[in-house]
Structure 1
């Protein structure tokens, strides 16, 4: 508008060319937007089809037994943003809030996993059986009996692991863990005596008590380890000077023979009945 009137024709020409360039620019921008929208539509459709195919492939790949766990973890990392765990101790369950990459959130409820201590917890029935066996057996015998009957330790035993077999040390641990009465206390309640007490009762040396028990003159009962308690009969007590080998053997043989005859007599009576 400030151009000289003598040059107005030139100004009009320049203004026309400028307006033409502006129209060309506007048309180019519109064409670019239309092309972008079209490309975006094609891209979205292709991505959608690919995602559908990936979903089917994902299930096959996940269920494939040849897929290692590390690859499964990588697959999850591509679709899951994060996971929040909320443990509910009172109910023994855990709420799992899963947030996917696309923003969707899914909540699952599952049982809480067992702790290491719970996984090796022995069944109550086994503990009760150990309690009964302690009346007549030592730890090594109890472990052998449990293994023979097919009992195993906790979760590891249910998985068939060989190291889940019972050992004397594990039986001793059960006795301590569940506060079962030790075999020593059970024998004492039945009137068994220690070696020192038996020696005083019989008025002999402690080594004599050991020899008499070895040859069956008095009964000895193992109380685990290398310790024994001794059962002193009410009558027919061994005499102090009867520890010669021939007299010991004769007396032990007589006791064995008497016990065998009594057993046979009992079996005959049962057979008659």
Structure 2
């Protein structure tokens, strides 16, 4: 305990730290180990997520070292795929920040005799000495990392405001606060024409206690308004930011290249060592010779894999930006809105930019507006008032000019004729579909428009049966007279049905099924006789 309080107690060190010959803690002299550990911290600083570090290592084809703690190969350094649990161990270990600690965990024996280990809060540690030995990061950076990890961990609990940025299109994911109850609002996605549309929902009380949803607000319009605010804020810094990002990407690519090159050198060393061991063995001792030959072949395979990985990565690595490329970046960065709207920009990166500028956004919905109160990192506040987005039925509503045109044309035309006339003028329905007779009828019923048939009936026109009874003839006779022009009929619908006007009282009565005779034009000398004949 006395040695621990002085920071001199010898402990098992994490990978990347070793004891020198005099017992001081130093960085591992293996540059490939140093580069891998440093890469974990730099990637976490860039991405802000332990899982993103794992994905970055996998994407670059990088391995991570570890020392075996048990078995015949105890203490040997081996390399393998980086795991999420390993990243968390590295990020939470104060030794990487140059700090000596003791008493972080305590053991407790249960009633059944089993032992459990519990991690104590920092204020209960027995010893904590900062800047005790060299580290990969400073203590201040370690504190920042712990704060970020704690914020990310809340994504698995009730408070999701500080959750890490995800790939979904909701720009304010994890930053939205309900303006009614003060709770954290989550994101719900709906599919519209193959695209995911966000909706911010305050439903924690509804889930926990079965209450109704406090608020649900469509998020597309809010994200657009916040994007405009962001563009107005960031545009003056677009040039410097774009070039800084380009330089950072180049530096990260060079660092990954150095790590892969070190892996090739390490594999070459092990292959040469295995070769020397094989050549030094007595050829007559076949048991040992066969084993050493198999080990040599294994190291040669590892060397080939490391070399292939290195060469593939070298082919994909474009190196630093040339002056021409920097000029192109400069020209593109001058138009930051184009960069922001570029489909190639990942949504996760847009959210990371948002979190650099915004603390949170409080949403409150009324009957007519949505109020968005934004808190900026610098302490300033902005308030946006947005209209309530149209409902789905309102978006698909038939344009007023189309309804007015249908109402006018119904005076003289049938449904199919109206559809042909409006289509020739380029008019479509509220959903963008071409107009047809059935759709014209549906629009007429929805807007309570009188049909063409009803309008003709209102003018006093008679149906086929009515005019036949009035004239005392059959319906076929009426149709014949209409075709001969003796009766006036108007087309009532698309079924080729007609409505008829009352005939003139001076038309001759039919005799023996013959069509009536049209009266002769009246003259001064024959007016009286013609009238008597008609009567």
TM-score class, shorter-chain normalisation, is 0.5 to 0.7
Tell me by how many angstroms 1:197 deviates: 0.6
Structure 2: gaps (5+ residues): 9-99, 101-127, 145-239, 246-332, 519-535
1:63 maps to which of 323, 340, 344: 340
2:458 maps to which of 173, 189, 206: 189
Structure 1: how far apart are the matches of 2:243 and 2:507? 88
CA contact (8 A) 2:464 2:500 kept: yes
Structure 1: how far apart are the matches of 2:390 and 2:513? 60
Change (3 A) 1:96 1:56: farther
1:143 maps to which of 390, 415, 419: 419
CA contact (8 A) 2:416 2:494 kept: no
2:410 maps to which of 131, 134, 140: 134
Q: Secondary structure at the match of 1:94?
A: strand
Counterpart in 1 of 2:256? Answer: none
Structure with higher Rg: it is 1
1:39 maps to which of 128, 135, 138: 138
Q: Which moved more, 1:227-236 or 1:205-214?
A: 227-236
Let me know the Cα RMSD of the aligned residues: 4.7
CA deviations on 1:59-92 (whole Å, 9 max, x unpaired) are 6895253427xx32x3356566987654322x2x
1:172 maps to which of 421, 441, 449: 441
Counterpart in 2 of 1:160? Answer: none
Structure 1: gaps (5+ residues): 1-17, 46-51, 158-162, 252-273
Change (3 A) 1:243 1:65: farther
CA contact (8 A) 2:444 2:451 kept: yes
Counterpart in 2 of 1:88? Answer: 366
Tell me by how many angstroms 1:177 deviates: 0.9
Change (3 A) 1:124 1:30: closer
- Equivalent pairs counted in the alignment come to 211
| 1:1-273 pair list within 5 angstroms | 32=131, 39-40=138-139, 53=241, 63=340, 65-67=342-344, 71-72=346-347, 74-75=348-349, 78=352, 85-89=363-367, 91=368, 93-96=369-372, 108-154=384-430, 156-157=431-432, 163=433, 165-226=434-495, 227-237=497-507, 239-241=509-511
CA contact (8 A) 1:212 1:243 kept: no
CA contact (8 A) 1:217 1:238 kept: no
